[in-house]
Structure 1
Amino acid sequence: MDSRRTDATRSRSGDASGGLNTEPARRQERSGETADAAESQLWLPGWMRLYFYGMHGVTLDVLLSSLHGVGNNGHPKLLGFSSVYLCISHALTHFALEKIYGQKRCFQGRPVVFHLVFYPSIYIGLQILVGNINTLTEQVRVVSGTQLLLHYILALYFTQVFHKGVGRLQYNPSICLTDLLTKHGQGNRGEVLSGLARFLFFGMHGLLDEILFTSVFNLVEKSDRTLGGHTSLWSFLMYGSCSFVVDKLYLHLHFQRGWGLWRRLPVYVCIIYTWEFTWGLVLRQFDACSWDYSHYPHNFMGLITLVYLPGWICLSLYQDVLSNVLLKIRCTKDTEDLSLEKERVNGKLESKTH
């Protein structure tokens, strides 16, 4: 009996002493896991950044090629070009440039050297490399002075606008959309992206959709293995505005009126067809309409056709997915908020361990 009491006393004392030795390690382990989880919510995940970078690169391709076309022939259709391969290369290049931009802390006290010399040099080198990937086995393309100037201007855009804008975005997959929309309705607009940001995103995504669609079409119909596609710069405004309206409609019908997907879908399709017909009718008056469905069956005035109904249904379904993802992204007021928030999180976790 006494021996069992003695063993129990020793066991309790051993646990107490062991707790004093192992508890800091356990707390440090838990704090490290919490810090990693908190930090993962302070930045867009890698797959999302690659997705956005590819879309952004395609938008730049379309913008520059359409402006180049206007300068040469002055045609109001504003046709632009890109390809699936360029989309992938843009995603990887932007990802690498993100890492380069992160090295600016090594240039403390010398921001001019970084922003005007170091980063532009890396950017121009990468762009020349990407531009010559398809011709390395044939002939290296010489970059003109105008192209170098354009690349330099784009490098300044990346350092002063693009990277700072992406650095403000935070993604939290655990956000409850219903609670978030309730707060948003009460005026807490700091929790979601602004309307302008959503419009720009949908506009860029529309250009990506058309490049992917036309590239697949060219592959099937013309056996074009370059996977090159085309679109119009007007599509940026058309897709951006239409998706913005459908996005607002989704928030209202789904979260406020409780409409299911198959009840919302006909409304989406009707809006898309109305939008496409209206934009096409207006652009046709200025000879700026880039599509003509007159050779397709079940078309109306060559501006809309039921042949593309399955595609519009798929895009409508995907629209809801994009809306849900965007609802979980918020934009901080300052690019330094990320580092400050990380420091506060780390500081709080360290204080708890002591």
Structure 2
Amino acid sequence: MSLVRAERRRFLKRRLIKWLLVIAVALFAIIAAAIFLNNEKVSPQRIAAAEAQAQRNYEDSVVQWHTEHDLRCKSVTEGTPEADMCAQDMEPQREWFTPDLPSTFIFKKDFSPLITVWAALLAVIAFVIGASFVGAEWSTGSMMTLLTWRPRRIQVLSTKLAVLAGWLTAISAVSLALWTGAFWLTAQLRGSTDGMTSGTWQSLGLTGLRGLGLVLAVGIVGFLLATLGRHTGVALGVALGVIIVGQVGLGIVLGLLQVPFLEAYLLPSHLMAWMDKQYIVQNWSVDCTGPGPCLPETRTLTWEGTGSIALAAALVLAVVAFWQIKRRDIA
């Protein structure tokens, strides 16, 4: 039996992987069901009635504002604080009055953020799958047994990594197709599918591809960390340390030091930059003593920059993992 076929069977037979996939399906089903039940289709007549009511509310508010403004500001003396306050009064604007409509699922507008939800949840599952796929073999001793009759260490590890990447790609593709179908049905029954052009589908497809890249990257990192530590728990411990120490602790320290563009050093910002193509971080530590509006400085994180950093880190981790399995004693 070929090594690739054996690794495929080993992947499918792991009970932890089966349970993780069941948990993933359950989570996705709960989210999809909750969104389906919390939305409803709105008829054109109801939209028109709500728009008319919003217009009436706006007109009534303008009349009321003018009445109160004239009563309060008619006799004030120019140059007094009261006159300055009256001059700053703003007449109600039409955009402040939105139609009072129930939540309805607009596929063109609402589905893109849900691709990010899909990718983030599946990436967590992929990390545990990747770590357990190789970590369990190290902890149980089956890796040493395998390398006894198949002493080509690099080939064995490469095959395991390739099989993991293949299965994660298949799982991601199937789950994204089902995810898309579920919300397309939600939009048809509880919202709208209007405005879906070929360009919109292309944009959603590219977002899905970036989501696939995220799932694969996180799963492979889990695999490499478990390879280095020779135990699933090592990979999980490193992940927990990165989240608690590397993110929460780092955020607190950077905040105390008033480091500009603090969010640029945190993983969630880069996750959003990767999935949304860009993410703008702000620096409010600016001098507001001068004239004019006090606006924060901004910096844009791009998906290309985030992807380059992630790729470089993964390559370094891969080189170290393959070097240590070749040089280190496997006993």
Q: TM-score, normalised by structure 1?
A: 0.24
**Structure showing greater relative contact order (alpha-carbon pairs closer than 8 Å, 6 or more residues apart):** 1
Q: TM-score, normalised by structure 2?
A: 0.25
